[in-house]
Amino acid sequence: MRYLVAALSIVVASQAFADTKTQKIEELLRAQGLVDTWAQQIERGKEYNKQVAQQVMGQMTAKLAPNEDFKKRFDAASDKFIESTVTPWTADDMVAAWAKFYGPGFTEPELDQLIAFYSSPLAQKEIQVSRAALEKFTLHFQQLNQPIIEKATNQYMQDLQIIAAECNCAK
C-alpha cells in the first residue's frame, strides 16, 4: 500500500510539474508575441482558402451562364469548401504542441530566467532550441493540414463538376 501511495504521489507531482512547465512556456510565448502571431497565421490561412475557392470557382464557371438557382448552389459549394478547410486547432493548441517540442530543452528555473531576463545570455540558448523546435513544429502542422486541404479540394472539385453538369448552362 505504501508503494502505491508513493507511486501515485510521483504521478501527481510529475503532472503538476508538467502543467507548471507548460504554463511557463505559454507565458514566455505570449511575452515573445508568438501566440498572437500563430493566431494571425490561422486567420491568414482562412483568407488563403477563400482565395483558392474563388480561383477554382472562376475556372469552373468561366464558360457557364448559370441561373440564380445554380449560382446559389455554386456559392454553397464554395462555402462548404471554405468551411472544410478550417484547421481544427487554435493558437492555444499550437502552444501545447510547442511546449511538447520545446519544453524538453529547458528546466523550470531556466524558463523563469527567460521570462524575467529574455535578453540574458540564456536567451542565446533559447534561440538555438527555438530554431530546432520550430522545424519540427512547422512540419507537424503542415502534415496535419495537408490531408484536410487535399480532401476538401477534391470534394469541392467534385461538387462543382456535379453542379456544372446539372446546370447545363454552357455559354
Copy the grid coordinates of residue 93: 493548441
Contacts of 29 (CB under 8 A, 6+ apart): 35, 95, 98
Whether 25 shows a pLDDT value over 90: the answer reads yes
Helix, strand and coil content of the chain, in percent to the nearest 5, comes to 85, 0, 15
DSSP classification of residue 86: S
- So what's the pLDDT on residue 97? 94
For residue range 43-81, list pLDDT tens digits in order: 888 988 998 899 889 888 888 888 999 889 999 999 999
For residue range 101-150, list pLDDT tens digits in order: 999 999 999 999 888 876 566 766 776 788 788 888 888 998 999 999 99
Copy the grid coordinates of residue 27: 507565458
For residue 37, the SS3 value is: helix
- So what's the pLDDT on residue 41? 86
CB 22 within 8 A of CB 103: yes
- So what's the pLDDT on residue 14? 44
Q: What letter represents residue 21's amino acid?
A: K
Q: What letter represents residue 92's amino acid?
A: D
